[in-house]
Structures are given as C-alpha cells and as structure tokens.
Chain A
Amino acid sequence: DAGITQSPRHKVTETGTPVTLRCHQTENHRYMYWYRQDPGHGLRLIHYSYGVKDTDKGEVSDGYSVSRSKTEDFLLTLESATSSQTSVYFCAISAGTAGGYTFGSGTRLTVV
C-alpha cells in the first residue's frame, strides 16, 4: 500500500532464532501498530507505538518486542522464534486515534 512498506514479504526461519520484521512509512503518521493474522482469530494486536520511543503492549505481546527510534520505522522482533509464531504479520499506521488504518502488505513468517 502506498506510504507503508513491510520487509521481508516472506521469511522462513528456524525455531529458537531471533527474527526482525520492519515496517517503514512515508506518511509521517504518529501511530504505528503490529498485528498478526491467524485463521479463526482475525487480527490480534501485538504492540503499538504512539510516538518515537513510545510503545505499549497489545493483546498477544509475549515473545515479541518492538522499537521505534524514528517516526518512519517500527521494528518487530521475535526474540526466540517458536512454531506458534508462524503467522502473517501486518503493520498499520494512522494519523490520529479517530482515523482508519492504512495497512502494509504483510509478512508471511514460517517458523520450522
């Protein structure tokens, strides 16, 4: 989607290894979010950020950490990947708390 890119698009990794997913935006939006999408669960919030260095936990934050050192970048790290973290990860941005989200194209992560 215009203004927001996720990398990588696909990744296969081994259990126990650290993995970092990147979300980059060119919209200068204050709010950024990481969700995971799993069948039957919809999208579940992992972590979110409301400004540089300001982050907070979502519904399913165990095993994940985030960092936001610049407005445009929001990194999601799986500290030690497990098979239960196999999922599609979406980053989203919004200008304000009342606005809709713009989503990235997603990262399909497989942990083997």
Chain B
Amino acid sequence: AQSVAQPEDQVNVAEGNPLTVKCTYSVSGNPYLFWYVQYPNRGLQFLLKYITGDNLVKGSYGFEAEFNKSQTSFHLKKPSALVSDSALYFCAVRANTGGFKTIFGAGTRLFVKA
C-alpha cells in the first residue's frame, strides 16, 4: 500500500533564509512523486513532480525537490523564502504500476516571517 509522511505539521522560517519541507514515502515499485501548494481559502496548485531522471527537480515559484531513493524521501526546498510562500504544502505519491491512485500526506504549514 502507498503512504506518505510529512513529519512536520508546521515549519517556520525567516524571509530570505532557505526552507525545507520534508516528505517520506512508501510505495511498491518506482514512485511518481508530487508537491502541491494550497494558499489560504484557495484550491490546490501543482508545484512539481518527479517521474524519472535527475534526482533534483525544479518547479514553480523557485521551488525544487530532491528525490532520494535510498531514504525514500522527496523533500521540498527553496534557497530563499518569501513571505508570500506561506501556505499549506502537500506531498503526494503514486505507484507507477497498476491503479491510478495518488495518496497525499497530511500537509505541512509553512510560515515565513518578514
């Protein structure tokens, strides 16, 4: 069965500092991995995905994520945080064999302080 863990309910970071939002996963076979963001009172937006290839993937708004197969992790990163990055972030995983289900983590709330 697929599962996703986001170990931190909340991450606080000062504007201009690097940020990391953690995600670990469990899935049979090779995973498809995703990050989504939800701004207050809005729907979810796709940020980036890892399917295959380079372990470092780049996405929208300056975000990137690093796939680590041995640690089954897919942490979201940004070199310099903005106050406008404050939002709820979801990691998601899908098995690449059989089925079409994407399982989401519980979410991590990011607060960026000016």
Contact = CB atoms under 8 A, between A and B. Distances in A.
**Contact size class for A?**
20 to 34
A100 B46 contact: yes
A102 B34 CA distance: 12
Interface string B24-64: 00000000101010000011111001010000000000000
Given A42-B90, A98-B32, A100-B49, A58 B101 contact: yes
A74 interface: no
A41 interface: yes
A106 B43 contact: yes
Interface string B68-110: 0000000000000000000000100010100011111111000
Contacts, number: 56
A10 to B, nearest CB: 12
A44 B51 CA distance: 22
Interface string A24-50: 000000010101000011111100101
A43 B90 contact: yes
B42 A105 contact: yes
A48 B101 contact: yes
A41 B51 contact: no
14 contacts: A41-B106, A43-B90, A44-B104, A48-B100, A59-B103, A90-B44, A97-B94, A97-B100, A98-B51, A99-B49, A101-B102, A103-B36, A103-B44, A105-B42
